Chain A
C-alpha cells in the first residue's frame, strides 16, 4: 500500500539553528499539505500546494518558515532560525487529484524538539 514518506522521523536542534523536513507524497497525488501538530491539539495547516504552486500559506510564519515543491512531487519545509515554540510534530499529507475534497493521507511525521 502506497504511503506518504517523511524524514527525518525525529529532529533535535538548538534554537537559532536551521532545520529542514522532507516529504514524498503518494505517487500521483497533486495536492500536498504541511501541518503542525502541537501535543494535545489538532493538526494546523501551514501550507498547501497544488502541484508546484502554493494555494494557501496564510498560516505559515513567513519570517522563519519556507516551503517548496519545485517539481510538483516531493516537498521541503524549512525553519530558520528555529525557536523554542516550534517544538511540535510536523505532518505531511497528500490527496489524490486536484480537488481537495478527497481524504488526506498523512505521513508518519517529523517530531521536532528545539532546545
Chain B
C-alpha cells in the first residue's frame, strides 16, 4: 500500500532559525495536504498542493510539491515560539474521487526562545 515518509522526526531550533520538513511518497500523488497539530490538540489544515512543481506561501511558510508529485516540503522562515507543534503531510493517491489521505508520521518542531 501507499506509504508516506517524513523527515526529520524531530527538529529543535532556536527562535529565528529556519526549519524544513520533507515528505516522500512511495507512489505518485494526486494532491498533498499539510496539517499542524499543536501539543494536546488536533490536526489543523494548512494548505493543499495539487499541481506538479507548485509552490505556495503563507506568510513565513513556503510549501512545495515536487515535479514528479511524489515529494513535498514545508519551509518556515525565522521560526517563532508559536510555530511549535507537529507538522504532518498527507498524500492522496490518484484514481478515485474518494482516495484516502495517507498521513506521514510527522515532524515534531520545538522552538527555543
Contacts and interface: CB of A to CB of B under 8 A. Distances in A.
A107 B48 CA distance: 19
Nearest to A108: B42
Given A40-B105, A41-B106, A42-B103, A55 B98 contact: yes
Given A56-B98, A100-B99, A101-B31, A41 B45 contact: no
Which label, helix, strand, loop or mixed, suits the secondary structure of the B interface?
strand
Contacts of A100: 92, 97-101
A99 to B, nearest CB: 6
Contact of B105 (A42, A50, A55, A103): A42
Given A42-B88, A91-B43, A104 B97 contact: no
B103 to A, nearest CB: 3
A103 B97 contact: no
B99 A103 contact: no
Interface of A: 40-45, 48, 50, 55-56, 91, 93, 98-101, 103-109
